[in-house]
Amino acid sequence: MTQHRYIALDGLRGIAALMVMIYHFSSRGRLFAEGFVTPFDSAYLAVDLFFVLSGFVIYHSYARALSTDLGVREYLLKRAIRLYPLFLAGLVIGTIASYMLGTTGLAAFSAKLATKELSYNLLGFPYANDTLIFDFEDGATLAGQIFPLNPPAWSLVFELIASFLFIFLYKLQSRSLMRVAIVSLVVLLALAGYFARISHQNGLVFGMGYNTGTFIGGFPRVIFSFVTGIILCRYISTPRTSSPQETVMWGKAWMLYGAASLLLLFPFDIDGIYALFFITIGGPALVWVGGHTIIRNTASQSIANFLGWLSYPVYCLHIPVGWMVWAIGHRNGLTPMEMLISATLATVLLSCAIATLLDSPVRRLLTSMAFHDRSTAAKGSVGSVQLTK
């Protein structure tokens, strides 16, 4: 059976990555805050959208192959090769950026501590700590990040965990998958209430998994969204793609991207109620619509493909690049808005360069070394699908 690309979902991933980048560069939206309104306040939920997309795309790309001729070892190697080069690049650049912040006085830097952090993080292990790191605002810090040299890397480790669990999940019947989703949601809700209580906040706290104190909450967070993505892929019975012969159809994809932007721009947390809505309904609905969206316009296809291609390097690199820009900008008296614009442009440009000159060649080399004895036909069965994953 011919495999298909869900091009609209590529674009959706790119939009989400850009929103997360601006969320961090604006110090979680505080740069744009007006009174009680804080745009980008909900953009951290793009991580949950990424997890849904991962479940959808990995099921689409690998379930059939794992059932036939793709071994578990080969599958896990493919996932590691896809994720690790940029994961490593982010940690290396993050170490340099942390040193630059230390030289400007924006953050403390210890070569001994950085070496210890790297010894854990390079292997994908979280580093439990209570260290304070820079948070894109004068005097603001974040405590206990399990990947202190590149904080977003926490979600990549949970994605690898989900990729491993997939070798068991794809075999389950849909009813069993629903049970897994429900149980993980119940655990997620319990932990969201618990962490809200111990941090003296009202309602529920869903921002879990990224730091030492809430690390355990990352497991139900990723499992619920990842399994939801698998279920969505199973229930979209007709794969949607596009071909050069089809006539122009412009509106659907851009309506999808506009809706995603508005949902992630939502400026009120409402004691965690909005986050619960997005995780359980909003994010999955975006993926459902994206899975049914056909992009027929050539220019729209190119934009969606580019956004999808750009999404992973932007997500991996934006914090380290942003730290570098803030260190340079601090020395030269730039305003926070000037640094945000500069960091955004620098991240996009450097992401393009590293993806082209480093990530793609390294992944090709590693793939060649790992699968040199695999036949061309077997490679073609899974290798042509969803290159952004």
> Nearest CA to 209 among 217, 201, 197, 198?
217
pLDDT digits (tens, 9 = 90+) for 349-382: 999 999 999 999 999 999 999 887 554 444 444 3
pLDDT of residue 353: 98
**Per-residue confidence at 2, pLDDT binned at 50, 70, 90?**
very low
pLDDT of residue 254: 87
- Asked if pLDDT for residue 264 goes beyond 60, the answer is yes
Averaged pLDDT, 220-234: 97
Query: Which range, 126-140, 242-256, 268-282, is most confident?
Result: 268-282
DSSP state of 113: H
Query: What band does 383 get if pLDDT is binned at 50, 70 and 90?
Result: very low
pLDDT reported for residue 75? 96
Q: What is the mean pLDDT of residues 151-166?
A: 97
**Mean pLDDT calculated for residue range 10-37:** 84
Question: What's the whole-number average pLDDT of the chain?
Answer: 88
Angle at 82 between CA 80 and CA 85, to 5 degrees: 85
Type of residue at 182: I
- What sign does the CA torsion over 198, 199, 203, 206 have? negative
Task: Assess whether pLDDT exceeds 50 at residue 187.
Answer: yes
The answer on pLDDT for 283 being more than 90 is: yes
- 8 phi-psi bin (left φ>0, alpha ψ -120 to 50, beta other): alpha
Burial of 183 (0-12, 13-18, 19+ CB in 10 A): middle
Tell me the H-state helices in the chain. Answer: 7-25, 46-67, 72-104, 111-121, 153-169, 174-198, 218-235, 251-265, 273-277, 283-291, 298-331, 336-354, 360-370, 376-383
Residue 245 has pLDDT above 80, yes or no: no
Residue spans of the domains in the chain: they are: 7-383
Q: Which two tokens stand for residue 101?
A: 């912040």
pLDDT of residue 140: 65
Which residues, at least 6 apart from 322, have a Cβ–Cβ distance to it below 8 Å? 21, 24, 25, 136, 343, 347
pLDDT of residue 321 exceeding 70, the answer is yes
For residues 154-159, average pLDDT: 96
